[in-house]
Structure 1
Amino acid sequence: MQPTIEAMTERDVEAVAKLRLAAFFEGTGRTLAEDIVGLRGLIARDGFEAAVVASLGGSPIGSCLFVRNEIDPAHELTPWLAGLVVDEGYRRRGVGTALVRAIEAHAASAGVDRLYLYTWQARPFYEALGWTAAEAFEQEGEPMLLMSRAL
């Protein structure tokens, strides 16, 4: 069974926030409630920013965001693909690729001609999807890579 990729709705928010906390925020002090507020903000925005969810049998297994601002103040660029997360049990099955492509399509439909992201470990994944490395730097003592993709 293939997952469906759709815009995030209120029913997805808590499950996606739990995936995000485990993937990105463990040990940072960020709470589930804080991430839920941030995700709800993306749902309620002006339609430019977006969140998409991969679901299987009605349960979220992954998510990706399209936002105006990302890590501050590292770069004054916009907009960003951010927060790609896929539940560990569903990785290497094309879910991440489908989520990235959905965000790229949303960005292109919004008139965006270049999209940015930050990564370090996922560089080969994004390069395989046509993203290019722009700049390596350190963020809070950790290696980070700025990548971009023309749409």
Structure 2
Amino acid sequence: MFALKRPISLVIVLFWFSFWMLNALDKILARKDLGSFRWWGNDRIEKFTMYFDRLSIDAAHVYPTLMFAGIVEFAVALPFLYAGYHLAKGKPGAARLADLAIALSIVIFLGFAIFDVIVGDRAELLEHSTYVGVLLISFLAIAAEMFFNHLRRLTQEENVEA
């Protein structure tokens, strides 16, 4: 019978995988007509056009910049997917992979926050800073689940020996 040993960690990892994948798609598919529907997403093209205007950068660089950011976000999603696979299969090393994915995510948000300060977008700065806090809480929740699972195993071992 299949028994998931770390369901909270799996949900957290799958959440962050979905988050990064959808964010990547939001940048790559910004305002694209996909046939059956149009991908609207966030107003990234407009925002980046305004940012680049503030920085005196040609607006022709907006879409390539969004594509680059989307590719980076897709790359950050992959360690979460891999960690989720390890968690679902009960393979060792899942926590280490999740930690790596969370650390990479924090680094990406740090980069976004620096850009937010440069272009003067305090709302985006607050948003990106909030995500760092949620990532730290995710890290703590994964660590807590590991700790309590360890305590549960120790208690079960003591009960078997008694």
TM-score by length of 1: 0.33
Higher relative contact order at CA 8 Å, sep ≥6: structure 1 or structure 2? 2
Larger C-alpha radius of gyration, 1 or 2?
A: 2
| Greater share of residues in helix | 2
**Which structure shows the bigger proportion of residues in strand conformation?**
1
User: Under a length normalisation based on structure 2, what TM-score does the superposition of the two structures give?
Assistant: 0.32
